[in-house]
Each structure stands twice: as C-alpha cells, then as structure tokens.
Amino acid sequence: MQKLLSVLAIAILGLALVIGVACGGGDEDNETGQAQIGDAVKVHYTGTLDDGTVFDSSLERDPLEFTIGEGKLIPGFEEAVIGMSEGESKTVEIPADKAYPYNEELVFVVDRDQLQPDLQPEVGQQLQFQREDGQIVIFTVIDVSELSVTLDGNHPLAGKDLTFEIQLVEIL
C-alpha cells in the first residue's frame, strides 16, 4: 500500500508539473520571445513628424530602457513594442491622442504687467516659471499684444501625429 501511495504521489506530482509548464506556470520569464506587458526592454528609435523632421533619436546614444506597462512613455509607443521580437524593427504611426493630446486648458492669457518689465516676449519663445512647489514649468508664447501674452503649456509635440522607427534591441 505504501509503495502504491508513493507511485501515485509521484504520478500526481508529475502531472502537476506538466500542467504547470503547459499553463505557463513555474518560470516567470518571458519565454515567448516577444515583448509583453511587464517586460523590461531596450529599444532604439527615431521619431519624425509628418513632414519628415526628426524630433528625437536614440541612435547616437544608448538604447532607451523601460518596462512595458509602467506608463512612463507615451501609450502608443509602448503599445507598438508589445509583440516585437529581439532584433525586430518596425515603423509605427502614433496619432496625437496616443502621444501628446492637445489640452486647451493649458493655454491662457497673461497681462503683460504680470511679466518681468524687461521681458520682450516673441511668438515661439519659451518661458520658464517656477511653481509654488518649486517645479519648473515651460510655456511657449503663441500670441503677443500690447496688453497681454498668450502662453501654451502643452508639450511641444502636443496635437501632432508622430512616426517612430523602432528596433527592439533586447528583452531584459
């Protein structure tokens, strides 16, 4: 009877091991060879605007390292990396709403007398302000009149569709 129970226990343990492996249990590493949510990855990229202007590239520096799903990058970029394999390259177009959506609430008009008297604002100029919590915020001047200045606190790429050439260098 003892021998039968031992054989039965070994058989059950073996079956549990087979089921665990078949269901992805056990080793938590990515065994699919494709990037998935939760994976730390390294990528090289080049970002361009619709007119072909390059606004950023990692090709002259170390690859960008991030964990998919942490939300530290624009959503469309993270989504594009999901399913890629090491060494794979692709080009993806990311609409503004999945990159930097434009927020009208970040545009406001300031009376010129609220600015430093020696400041001569010009359209396109970037101004830095320090918030009460010490954080520096940057605004772009989008309109200037005799009495006021219109400032835009949106990201410089807000409202623009972006194209990225992405190469998955490594799944860590």
Integer Cα distance of 47 and 56 in angstroms: 5
Residue of 12, 55, 97, 143 marked catalytic: 55
Instruction: Name residues whose C-beta falls within 8 Å of residue 14's C-beta, 6 or more positions apart in sequence.
Output: none
Residue of 68, 74, 166, 171 marked catalytic: 74
Integer Cα distance of 38 and 2 in angstroms: 45
Specify which residues 162 forms β-bridges with.
94
Residue of 77, 100, 139, 164 marked catalytic: 100
69 touches 38 (CB < 8 A) = yes
CA quadruple 6, 12, 15, 17: dihedral sign: negative
In the residue annotation, 136 being an active-site residue is answered as no
Q: Please name the amino acid found at residue 114.
A: Q
In the residue annotation, 129 being an active-site residue is answered as no
Residue of 37, 50, 97, 108 marked catalytic: 108
Please give the structure tokens belonging to residue 14. 């073996």
Residue of 50, 56, 97, 143 marked catalytic: 56
In the residue annotation, 74 being an active-site residue is answered as yes
Q: Which of 32, 34, 35, 64 is nearest to 47 (CA)?
A: 64
The catalytic site residues sit at 45, 55-56, 74, 100, 108
